Structure 1
Amino acid sequence: MEQPGGALVASERYGSAESWKYWAKDGAMERRRDGEQRQSAGSSVLRVFRTVFLPQGYPDSVSEDYLQYQFWDTVQAFCSSLSGTLATQASLRGVGVGNQEATVAAATLTWLLRDGTGMLGRIVFAWRKGRKLDSEAKKWRLFADGLNDVAMLMEIVAPHFPAFFTLILCSAGVFKSVVGVAGGATRAALTVHQARRDNMADVSAKDGSQETLVNLAGLLLSLLLVPLVTDDPPLTLGLFFLFTLLHLFANYKAVRSVVMETFNEARLSIVLQRYLRDGRVPGPAEANGREPLLPDFRTPVPIRLGVKLQDVVHRYPDQLDLALKGNNKPFLVGIRNGCVSVCLGPEASVGDEIRAACQALWLGGRLEAPTSRHENQNGHWETVHQSHQLMDDVFTGFLKDAEAAGWDVKRTLLDWDEWRVEWKTKSS
């Protein structure tokens, strides 16, 4: 291939960011950028910025929702940095900074009590809610940032209640410790989602660089802000509420922009209901857009996955035979004490887990109907048998359509507990 500049020898590209060609002429080889021959100063700066603050191979190495999420996450981090400055100033004033009557020992004791209660809160929260942070990462991410704003508000108002200052500060410390666990864990879960080339460490490191840059910008603005709000509580509260509103809005936009392709209970319920209603499987973008992120004050039927056998059946052999009737799958589904429970066999596949969860969700919807609330246990078993028949008819098509719609059916974020049961029928 001959060109005025010589013969094309080779071409290369760096991801989707840039491409180059090698031209040979008179025994020499020249490397030229594909397209524009010269690179402007502005594009050079942008290239350096991308190299420093974005994962290698961006945008091909991350999920499609990466840029939108990072934009709103940057906005919320900036607002949180400014709010944190106001809260820290109030806390320092409350422990006696600037007060000649305050003692170092009293201030130190208050600070140690705050840190100590925070450590205990961190352990208890991780124990009670740790496994929920994977399956409901977006909801807990939003919860963590909202709780962080509550903790900072408590720190700001604490100096105005001297008699309860230590109690308020310790409570805020507990809240912030919960924020640390929930925020850090959900950030890791979102990083796993965003990393598409086994580059979780790179994505996490660049996210840290972005956050450091934002905190630096917040620090510089705080240097101008602190002298203005010192000894002016109304202005402090006013600015805090302004930053908090923007912080919560940016957080909501950030988690709403995340499009996860794996099923958790909420997304599976949305997709299953639509499929049973009109035979169509919504794609990940549509289902994520409808996924609830705020607290739901309704009382839905509890669904427990991966439970002990006694949570499904408690009499042998009649109830175990009822649980196995019409069911040749490696799981048992039952209804007990108003709760839908699923026992999982050790040989169950991911497809079996999805099918069992679909049955449990369908049963939960049936139990919410007023006509089903007063059924006896035998009536519930008839409903369970209907769920087996329904899944026999529709599940294969549902799973195939879900995969075609873009869902990852090779893994899930369903909240399975660790119990695995091997059961025997009366005949065996």
Structure 2
Amino acid sequence: MTVVCRESYSSQSVPLSYRRNQDGTIEVFKEGSNHAFSSLAQTFRTVFLPQGYPESVSEDYLAYQIWDTIQAFCSSITGTLATQAMLKGVGVGDVTATAAAATITWLLKDGTGMCGRIVFAWYQGSSLDCDAKRWRLFADILNDAAICIELISPLFPYYFTAIACVSGVLKSIVGVAGGATRAALTLHQARRNNMADVSAKDGSQETLVNLAALVVGLLITPMVSGNPLLTWFLFFLFTFFHLYANYRAVTCVVMNTLNQARLHIIMKEYLTTRFLHILSPAEANAREPVLRRVPRPLEVNLGAQFGQLCKRWSDMERWASSSSNEKYWLGLDRRTGFINILLHRDCTSQDIIEACFQAEIIVINTENEDVISQYFDSRGDDPDKYTKGDQLPADASWKVVRLSGLMAESLYPNFALELRNTGWVIGHTLLGTNEWRAEWSMTGIPEGKSFKSL
């Protein structure tokens, strides 16, 4: 018999071989000795892992899912404890409680939660994509806080409705932040345009974990009923593991797209090593904080309005002369602590990254005032010649913007090339760009022209 074909569903599936028999028929058989175990493992992978795993997902998928499974189990257990406390708070087991009062309390709790969901999505919705890891961890910390509030609610029966409403608001924020960041992480993990499959299998994994937690909850509920000491012990125990697993989950994620934090970390390394080293996605993600924002002396307002840069005609002259890229203007406002970047309506992701590249030069120069001067010294150049003899006022903010623009013009092409070679995706970014876009002209825009017709 001769093997005429060998195939596999993925690199970790059981290979199939096709043999040609002497009578001319083709027979299929599975390689490996333990076919029963292999079939069971293959069935598990098919049901709970994305099609084509592991090639169809990111390299950090398995590590993230393991820690995410642990945190989901712990959260389900603490949620069971909180549900018992809430049912006791609304009057379950109390002969004096009425169904109408419990219903009103629950409706108020749900209503305030809905309002909180709307407000939070309006206030922070646009930043959830940009800092998915930090908001993911924030959502789980807030979830544990809400569960803690629910556990203490029976101790304050006169304020139970208010406490329940506070818990409802917190859990609504958890729902928005957790759901949005889960979508962002799923998009990162899906490598074959299979976001729906990755999301569906993630839901299957979570359902399996919740079923296991349900069984454990059925066992521990009679034990903790009427035993507050054991209740709080289990709460703190599972909360600790919940937070630890969440921290490990988000820190093992390696995002290969740029956000403000990762770009700042990359730029700091790039400038301090004299333009010799660009951090890889794994290195930059390892340095990215997930409990707090990256501390910076100046904030970058990407996609600013025209009025935030230009109050007078001299402002237009100043910022126009400071940038060689015609698709953005960059202005520094030391009074407010913002670097405002005005974007042209035709700007591309490359222009946006270049604008942020220049902004980070200013930010890092504010932390270390030698960065710009060291660059010009290394070229044997005098930076003053680019700002002297100008008709514009000698303003310190304008000078640093002007010099940083010259640095960006010289360094960015090679920086962008090295980013690609190091494994970064720069076709799209997560830099938190506002949607304001503009068109400008130093000679004036004819009246009656619509925005789209310019």
| Same structural fold, with TM-score higher than 0.5 when normalized by the shorter chain | yes
**Please, which runs of 5 or more residues in structure 1 have no aligned partner?**
1-5
The counterpart of 1:385, out of the listed 402, 407, 415, is: 402
C-alpha distance in 2 between matches for 1:264 and 1:172? 32
Question: In the alignment, residue 128 of structure 1 is paired with which amino acid?
Answer: Y
Offset at residue 321 of structure 1 (A) = 1.2
Structure 1 residues 171 and 140: CA distance shift in structure 2, 3 A: same
Partner of 1:259: 254
Offset from partner CA, 1:153-175 (integer Å, 9 cap, x none): 00000111122211111001000
Offset at residue 370 of structure 1 (A) = 8.8
Is residue 357 from structure 1 mapped to residue 356 from structure 2 by the alignment? yes
Is residue 210 from structure 1 mapped to residue 205 from structure 2 by the alignment? yes
Partner of 2:81: 86
Within 5 A, what are the aligned runs for 1:228-267? 228-267=223-262
Contact kept, 8 Å, 2:354 with 2:412, in 1: the verdict is yes
Contact kept, 8 Å, 2:16 with 2:30, in 1: the verdict is yes
Offset from partner CA, 1:161-194 (integer Å, 9 cap, x none): 1222111110010000000000001000100000
Within 5 A, what are the aligned runs for 1:16-415? 16=11, 17-26=13-22, 27-34=24-31, 36=32, 38-278=33-273, 279-296=276-293, 300-316=297-313, 318-329=314-325, 330-336=327-333, 337-368=336-367, 378-415=395-432
C-alpha distance in 2 between matches for 1:298 and 1:285? 21
Offset at residue 32 of structure 1 (A) = 2.9
- Secondary structure of 1:60's aligned partner: coil
**Please, which runs of 5 or more residues in structure 2 have no aligned partner?**
371-392, 446-454
Offset at residue 368 of structure 1 (A) = 4.8
Contact kept, 8 Å, 1:301 with 1:368, in 2: the verdict is no
| Matched residue count | 417
Structure 1 residues 377 and 83: CA distance shift in structure 2, 3 A: farther
Contact kept, 8 Å, 1:264 with 1:412, in 2: the verdict is yes
Offset from partner CA, 1:264-288 (integer Å, 9 cap, x none): 0001111111111112011101101
Structure 1 residues 299 and 112: CA distance shift in structure 2, 3 A: farther
- Secondary structure of 1:171's aligned partner: helix
Offset from partner CA, 1:344-393 (integer Å, 9 cap, x none): 1112121111110111222223345699xxxx991101010111011122
C-alpha distance in 2 between matches for 1:357 and 1:235? 53
- Secondary structure of 2:310's aligned partner: coil
C-alpha distance in 2 between matches for 1:145 and 1:427? 52
- Runs of 4+ in structure 1 displaced over 4 angstroms? 296-299, 368-371
C-alpha distance in 2 between matches for 1:377 and 1:193? 46
Structure 1 vs Structure 2 CA RMSD: 1.9
C-alpha distance in 1 between matches for 2:130 and 2:82? 32
- Secondary structure of 2:428's aligned partner: coil
Structure 1 residues 299 and 234: CA distance shift in structure 2, 3 A: farther
Single out whichever of 307-316 and 61-70 deviates more from structure 2. 307-316
Contact kept, 8 Å, 1:309 with 1:343, in 2: the verdict is yes
Q: Which TM-score applies when normalising by structure 1? A: 0.94
Structure 1 residues 226 and 145: CA distance shift in structure 2, 3 A: same
Offset from partner CA, 1:289-335 (integer Å, 9 cap, x none): 1111112595742211001111112111x111110114231100001
Offset at residue 416 of structure 1 (A) = 0.3
